[in-house]
Amino acid sequence: MGRLFGTDGARGIANTELTCEIAMSIGKAAAMVLIKEEHSKKPTVLIGKDTRLSSDMLEGALTAGLCSVGADVVHLGVVPTPAVAYLVKKHNADAGIMISASHNPFEFNGIKIFNADGYKLPDALEEEIEAIVLDNAEPYPNPVGDKLGRVLAIPEAIDEYINHIASTINGNLSGLNIAVDCSNGSASATAEKLFTKLGANCTFMNCTPNGVNINENCGSTHIEILQKYVKDNKLDGGVAFDGDADRCLAVDENGELIDGDFIIAICAKYLKENGKLKNNTAVGTVMTNMGFNKFCENADINFVATAVGDRYVLENMLKNDYCIGGEQSGHVIFLEYGTTGDGQLSAVQLLNIVNEKNQKLSEVASIIKRYPQVLKNLKVSREKKAEYASDTVIKDKIADVEKQLGNRGRVLVRPSGTEPLIRVMLEGETLDEISNFADEISEVIKERLC
């Protein structure tokens, strides 16, 4: 991880950690780097945002920074992150920027940058931007007169994105009675139009954002709300998105969770059945549940695991020509249709399979069994998080637990790429055993770092 950018953009508490000054500087530096990369005299940059209160403030700062070094800016308004990635390429822009802290609480915000092809910037370009912002590696240009940038708009942008997602299936979703939880975030601007267009009978939940209620007891980070609603109202299922709608989790008609691992398994099997699973491979991460490995063995599908972060999943997919991959958290990439995780695309693909097979969601999901998993998030300062890698006491404790578990489970402890957290994950055959081990490791980490 860099000094500004983590695994999913620059992130922090808005107006203290992620200030207007930093945002303006990122805008300036991004335009400078893009001008060099794209050989463009006057680049065009699209800016989208989620619904949190600070997004307007950061949009203004980014816009000022970009225009001040000669870039034109197109304001997309409130849109999902994957909409920015799609629209950049469709409109031949030089870059896209999404203002969002995804699943984080409303006081956080973030800046994600996409290149002209709709892919997140590689580490090398992020490091260039960091060097300009933090080290004054290059002076900012100060164009004048008609060399300054201006602000534009694409009024039809949201409809273009919705039509794109709808076009990825041949049929429709008519006959399905589902609940859609928009997390009071970006999906509030698109989900109702998309799912209504596809013919589903929907109840839309948490789609009245007020700037501070994004992700608050709703969406994919609080899936229990949707689980209860679907079960109580005897619906066919439900889907939930996070704040910027690049993640999707689902629940079946019994209220049981269908996470990213399940969605990837269901869709990979469907692609294989239809001769469209490229190189017979699905991509996950080191956090992917052991049950997914077993599913792949039974389905004769190859499984590849990457580091945590959808950018690393995508890099592997592009390098090896794979078409589907993602994370348990609900980031799922369908490379035929998009360049990044897309919650609404994932939901449409999953529900289309249910409708086409004329099966219940629980039946479709029965192809994979979830192994018990415990995840603990330990809050640490950014400084202490950096010390984790060199702490031998913690490493020794993890090694001891791994030895005791043997081949009955696994341990994964890692610093979060997006938050001031150390994540402790254990997986195994029995919940009691891995819970006890997770507590033991967590106590050592608390003593050393918290």
Tell me which residue of 359, 378, 171 sits closest to 252, measured CA to CA. 359
> Which tokens in the block code for residue 193?
């139009």
The span from the CA of 117 to the CA of 95, in Å, is 8
Torsion-angle region of 140 (φ positive above 0: left; ψ -120 to 50: alpha; else: beta): beta
Tokens matching residue 191: 């989900």
102 is known as an active-site residue: yes
CA angle (398, 399, 405) in 5-degree steps: 90
Please identify which residue in the block is written with the tokens 């004054």: 136
Contact 264, 284 (CB under 8 A): yes
d(CA 353, CA 233): 22
Residue with tokens 């530096």: 29
Cα dihedral: 330, 331, 334, 337 (round 10):
110
CA proximity to 181, closest of 153, 159, 204 = 204
The residue annotated as part of the active site, out of 102, 188, 220, 346, is 102
Q: Minimal CA–CA distance to 165: which of 195, 186, 185, 188?
A: 195
User: Whole-angstrom Cα distance, residue 80 to residue 133?
Assistant: 27
Residues serving a catalytic function are 102
